[in-house]
Homo-oligomer: A and B are copies of this chain.
Amino acid sequence: MFSQSAEYALRAVLLLAESGQRKGGRQIAEELDVPANYLSKILMQLCRQGVLDSQKGWGGGFELAKKPGEIRIGAVVGPFEGSETPRDCILGSDRCGDDDPCALHSYWKQIKTIYEMMTERITVADLVRPTARR
Contacts and interface: CB of A to CB of B under 8 A. Distances in A.
Contacts of A86: 1
Given A7-B90, A11-B91, A104-B118, 10 more contacts: A1-B86, A7-B91, A10-B91, A11-B93, A102-B127, A103-B122, A104-B122, A107-B115, A107-B117, A111-B111
Interface size class on chain A is: 20 to 34
A114 B111 contact: yes
What DSSP secondary structure best describes chain A's contact surface? helix
A88 to B, nearest CB: 13
Number of copies: 2
Contacts of A110: 114
A107 B127 CA distance: 12
Contact of A2 (B2, B90, B93, B114): B90
Interface string A66-84: 0000000100000000000
Interface of A: 1-2, 7, 10-11, 14, 73, 86, 90-93, 102-104, 107-108, 110-111, 114-115, 117-118, 122, 126-127, 129
B103 A127 contact: yes
Given A102-B127, A103-B126, A129-B102, A111 B1 contact: yes
Nearest to A11: B91
